[in-house]
Amino acid sequence: MVALLLTWTILFLASCQISNWLGVYSKEKPFLSLLGGLALLSLLTNLWAIFFPLNWLLLMVLFLAGIEFYKKGFKVFSTSFIGSLFLPILLLIACLLPSILPVWINDDSAYYLPSIKNYAADGFTAGLAQWNIRFGLASSWHLLSSIFYWEGITPDRVWNFNGLLLFTFSLEFLRKGRILLGLLPVLLFSAPFLNAPSPDLPIILITIYLILEGTELSPKEWALLLLLIIGLKATAIPVLLIGCYPLLRFKKAFLPWILLPTTMGILWIAKNYILTGHLLFPIASEWFATSYALPADFLKAFSNGVLAEIYGLGFSGDDWVNAHLSWTERALGLFQLRTYKITMNVLIILGSIYLALIYRKKRIQNIPIWSLWILASLFLWFVLAPNYRFSLGFGIAALVMASEHFVAFFKRKIVLIPAVTFTFLTMVWMNTQGTNFVRIVSCGTPNELSMQQLLVPVPYPIIEAKKIETEKSFYYRPGDCIYCGNTPVPCLPDTLKSTHEKYGVNPWANP
């Protein structure tokens, strides 16, 4: 736990130093200061990974953090604007404790952690997606995580920054005079993402931030946030639509800053090309295809399978890659979800409509740009990827806005104290219950919640992986496990291996 907190401190200090250079730092805006630094770091990591292992960037991050601490000392952590240290410490604990508990986001065992290990040790390896097609989805969030991953040296989960992001968001939220009640849904719905380096939470928090503070941002700040969004996740495309706002508002003043997100877009294409052999992965293209390019039929099967999962229709093995469903079947699949997922989807739909109605009066050149963005995002989400994780920011922002209408009532301690207590207890409950899911996806038994687990966290269960050697290469096979989890790389579970070999993609085979 101490190691994770130290990592957060180092990254925050380094980000503040970068934001200082960029002219976007403010101790009253810890979240924006962090994002500004992370944006430029994400640009650097995407460029660096083309040529070098990412973990060597840790030396530069430590140097930047040292400069910032030397210049400002502990003043950089000033929280005097809240009035006392009690609430910041409580928020820090609420963000830190779930971050060290066993993970229950499947993608962490499937490819988050394996990709972090690969990028840390080798950067972008040509054809890496041949080992696992999901490596082609490389997120800037995992590249940033790779800076802090050193095999056998750094403790588990010190590369997870979601809790830091939520903590700084919470501080800035309260600094702006918003009521604590409005922060509670942000904390509650962020909890499931805290114990894995999921890029979904950054997108959620940035979406909320843009809705609440977007009209106050400068052209430079807009450009940095758009840069960061581009590298985080392909499903963040609906969020990028709001990039029209600064262009319409600032006009020529914004044009020079477009270079930043444009450069990130070019690096994103370069990353696709190196890892998968295709410029616009997962879209297949014959243009400049490399010798290790993934087959077009494999990419199509992958896209169909992912869409089927997104629409709530679970598949495995060959059924997954053959999941070519019509739009009608996908839409009907949304009503076959678990109750909590249906509830989240309803929240997003109703919340987006509510926000569109609130912002209909905000116009630029007589265009209700905010309402159009929210409704367009809702449409794209429903048509392309209606998983609640991908647009939860709109639903949470709606709850925040709605809470402000009841500010007088909910300022009463008799209501606020139970609400805060319920939120924090639920955050812990959601993450402790997640250990049940870990047993299913990783074939290992995680450590139970205990004082020992809090002092020396071991969030990943031990999986016995057998080393398989061939004339051409070697890989690790994690028994009968579905995913690799915390095993050496390269790792190939049987299900993944058979799927890749079906399409003739087998870099591990004998020559």
Segment 185-217, tens digit of pLDDT: 899 899 889 888 999 999 999 999 999 999 899
pLDDT tops 90 at residue 472: no
What residue has token string 């409005």?
A: 182
End-to-end CA distance of the chain: 46
pLDDT tops 60 at residue 132: yes
Segment 64-81, tens digit of pLDDT: 999 988 887 766 666 544
pLDDT band for position 464 (50/70/90)? Answer: confident
Average pLDDT, the chain: 84
Of the two residues 105 and 160, the one the predictor is more confident about is 160
pLDDT of residue 480: 77
Between the CA of residue 208 and those of 173, 245, 400, 401, what are the distances in Å?
Answer: 11, 16, 9, 10
Report, as an integer, the average pLDDT of 299-304: 83
pLDDT tops 60 at residue 288: yes
* DSSP letter for each residue of 389-443: GGTHHHHHHHHHHHHGGGHHHHTSHHHHHHHHHHHHHHHHHHHHHTHHHHHHHHS
pLDDT of residue 142: 95
pLDDT band for position 433 (50/70/90)? Answer: low
Of the two residues 51 and 382, the one the predictor is more confident about is 51
- What residue ranges do the domains of the chain occupy? 2-270, 466-502
What residue has token string 């009503």?
A: 335
pLDDT of residue 377: 92
Pick from 282, 284, 279: nearest CA to 269: 279
pLDDT of residue 12: 94
pLDDT of residue 104: 72
Segment 361-377, tens digit of pLDDT: 777 777 889 999 999 99
**Residue 28 CA from chain centroid, whole number:** 24
Segment 388-405, tens digit of pLDDT: 888 899 999 999 988 877
Of the two residues 225 and 156, the one the predictor is more confident about is 225
What CA dihedral angle connects 278, 282, 283 and 287, to 10 degrees? 0
pLDDT tops 90 at residue 415: no
The pTM is what?
Answer: 0.91
Q: What percent of the chain stands above pLDDT 90?
A: 39
pLDDT of residue 416: 64
pLDDT of residue 444: 66
The region of weakest confidence among 231-235, 280-284, 323-327, 471-475 is: 323-327
Report, as an integer, the average pLDDT of 379-388: 83
Pick from 127, 497, 131: nearest CA to 291: 127
| CA separation for the pair 291, 278 (Å, rounded) | 11
Alpha helices in 195-311 (DSSP H): 200-213, 219-232, 237-240, 244-250, 259-276, 296-310
Q: Look at phi and psi of residue 78 and say left if phi exceeds 0, alpha if psi is from -120 to 50, else beta.
A: beta
Segment 340-359, tens digit of pLDDT: 788 888 899 999 999 999 88
Say whether the peptide bond before residue 295 is cis (omega within 30 degrees of 0).
no
pLDDT tops 70 at residue 412: no
419: which residues sit within 8 A by CB, 6+ positions away?
A: 181, 184, 410
pLDDT tops 70 at residue 265: yes
pLDDT of residue 81: 47
pLDDT band for position 89 (50/70/90)? Answer: confident
| CA separation for the pair 40, 144 (Å, rounded) | 11
Report, as an integer, the average pLDDT of 241-256: 91
* 474 three-class SS: strand
Beta bridge partners of 475: 468
Beta bridge partners of 467: 476
Q: What percent of the chain stands above pLDDT 70?
A: 85
What CA dihedral angle connects 290, 294, 296 and 298, to 10 degrees? 180
pLDDT of residue 361: 78
pLDDT band for position 237 (50/70/90)? Answer: confident
pLDDT of residue 340: 78
Q: What are the phi and psi torsion angles at 38 (to 5°)?
A: -65, -35
pLDDT band for position 443 (50/70/90)? Answer: low
For the chain, helix (H) and strand (E) counts, in that order, are 25, 2
Tokens describing residue 170? 């919470």
pLDDT tops 60 at residue 1: yes
pLDDT of residue 314: 56
pLDDT of residue 413: 53
